[in-house]
Structure 1
Amino acid sequence: SGRAAPLPQGDVVARVLDAFRAEFAEDAANALYHVDPELSARRVLSRGQRIGGVVALLLVVVAAIVWPLPTLVTIVGISSVVFLASTLFKFGVAMLGSRYDLVERVDRAELDALRDDELPMYTVLVPVFREARIVGRLVENLGRLDYPVDKLEVIILVEEEDDETR
């Protein structure tokens, strides 16, 4: 009838999200690509990389037809070297990491000396999917976190089609 009626803020947000859902999804997925395609991961391989890959694959196929055994030995050898290099790198990183204490020790005096205004803002993202049974308890336990409420943002992420958890 053309009359305006006040709505709770949650209803306004829900209606805006419903009305512009497709635009929000498009923007989230493609905004960086439209602004600066070079910084976007939308295009995985450049044209030159695709051409180079096809040429390399064709060369391997031709080599496998002309020299089957040497080509197979070369492929196995290259694969073995790459696997060994990867394994050695991971081992090296693990050994370097093991030299450091993973837990930062803090004593009670340091904790007591902390002021709420010195603490950083934290956002905790909690994805749930088909977990209606536990989500209430989860929210309750998250509410018990020993951190200033004005410095803590907890966002429960629920899939759009997960009516059970909603």
Structure 2
Amino acid sequence: MKNCYLFFLLFLFGTVSAQIKLELTPQGFASQNIPRPQVLDEKLMESVRNWVATYNEKNEYGYDISDVSSNGMTIDAYKRNAFYYTNKGEVFQHRIRYRMRLDFTNQTIKVQFSVTEIYAQKNLLTLKISDFFLPDGRLKEDYRDAKPSLEKTTNAILNNFAEFMARV
């Protein structure tokens, strides 16, 4: 029983430490590498398409896959309630359109995540990620809730993708 408990703790620690943890900067998010499944290119592309369709199954705004080649592809999709901020006690939720550029190598999938559009309900805003920050790179006070909530959303998307790829 003691060995089973120890194995469980090691497994749990290994799973937790493997989580992707992106941090938002004035330039956006840094790219991440995840292990590439050892399958043929066709199977990898099919698996990515399956993930996109499954992950966006209830997404009323749809998704798009473009720039498809044996070296990678680009995914554009939307995420409701991707981040929020409060202003004078009122909470504002925002939907984003995001882009995931995937570049395939023999060993890894390089993922570049970016927010391309921000919406308030169905209205496209002129707000950009760089607007969250002061010229010196510090976070603006008005966006102290937006940064961690957007990071949480981004990390959830990328970790879901990485977990899906690990099962291919």
Both structures adopt the same fold (TM-score exceeding 0.5): no
Q: Larger strand proportion, structure 1 or 2?
A: 2
For normalisation by structure 2, the TM-score amounts to: 0.18
Rg: which structure is higher? 1
What TM-score do the two structures reach when normalised by structure 1? 0.18
Q: Which has the higher helix share?
A: 1
Larger RCO (CA under 8 A, 6+ residues apart)? 2
